[in-house]
Amino acid sequence: MERGAKVPSQRVRGNRYLQRIARDDLTLPEFNRLVDEALQSLPKRFADLVQNVVVAVEDEPTDEDLGVLEPDADPHSELLGIYRGVALTERMQGAPMLPDEIAVFRGPILRVTRTRAEAVREVRETVMHELGHYFGLTDEEMHY
């Protein structure tokens, strides 16, 4: 793959098939607030490095988003978030860049969590995971 090419990275929570309980108790404004709180909880030294990134809540991943999943992924897994951009470690100096995007998927997160507390934790973990991709970390390099 060409250096500097946009590569989507994703956060997937697997095999929660038996635990999928539709949770509509978190409204869209509340869910947006949770994403904002997760971003505000970033340590200052990292927050200062996050530039030109749009973080948005989307209801569901698109077919294109789902296309990044491994072919042998559990068919019952959910894509919780995705990073659409070029990691800081892969950028060419001085090259003009469109804003990177992080999408946090509300529907899948509500389906894989059973309680409000679990949803709050999952939103934060998903935001941090996708920011990890922005900073150049792979899934294997992240703890959760």
pTM reported for the whole predicted model: 0.80
Q: What is the pLDDT of residues 46-81, one digit of tens each?
A: 899 998 999 999 999 999 999 888 777 787 789 999
Contact 126, 55 (CB under 8 A): no
Confidence (pLDDT) at 26: 85
CA 119/CA 41 separation, integer angstroms: 16
Q: Domains (ranges, CATH) in the chain?
A: 24-88+97-139 (3.30.2010.20)
